[in-house]
Amino acid sequence: MRWQYKENHSFEKRKAEAEKMRRKYPDRIPVIVEKSPKARFADLEKSKFLVPSDLTVGQFYFLVRKRIQLRPEEALFFFVNNVIPPSSATMGSLYEEHHDEDGFLYIAVSDESVYGTM
């Protein structure tokens, strides 16, 4: 997936920003959330989040779902490096395993459970 945030900001700027956030808020995780190109819901108002490291993926999922304002019958899926993360995992453990070299954790959201060619 092509990340809009990466295209709009240089690697150096992203890395410096993530490092600054981690220094100022060591118990929080810098996360970029973007919808997949094939997703059929509205864009998120903001893509950058600073979340507690002990927040579970399921709790973060609920927060993002509320921002998108999906109906209860509509599905939403998170993808981190082409994999759906377990909802019981903490954002901190997800960050440790999957963060980008710029210091951000990138999460793609989709209304389909197949990552395919997003």
Phi, psi of 52 (to 5 degrees): -60, 140
Higher pLDDT residue, 37 or 118? 37
pLDDT value of position 38: 84
**30 falls within a domain:** yes
Domain count, the chain: 1
Taking only the tens place, the pLDDT of each residue in 13-28 is 999 999 999 999 999 9
Give the structural domain span for 34.
4-110
For residue 33, is pLDDT > 90?
A: yes
Select from 115, 117, 104 the least CA-distant residue to 6: 104
Q: Who has greater pLDDT, 76 or 115?
A: 76
The pLDDT of residue 118: 44
In a domain, 16, yes or no: yes
The average confidence (pLDDT) of the chain is 91
Q: Is residue 118 part of a domain?
A: no
The reply to whether 60 falls in a domain is yes
pLDDT of residue 43: 80
Q: What gap in Å lies between CA 45 and CA 49, rounded to an integer?
A: 11
User: Of all residues in the chain, what percent carry a pLDDT higher than 90?
Assistant: 72
Would you place residue 117 in the very low, low, confident or very high pLDDT band (cuts 50, 70, 90)? Answer: very low
pTM value is 0.91
> Do the domain assignments include residue 92?
yes
In-domain check, residue 100? yes
| Residue 117, number of CB atoms within 10 A of its CB | 8
Assigned domain for 116 exists:
no
CATH number at residue 12: 3.10.20.90
With a cut of 90, say whether residue 74 has pLDDT above it.
no
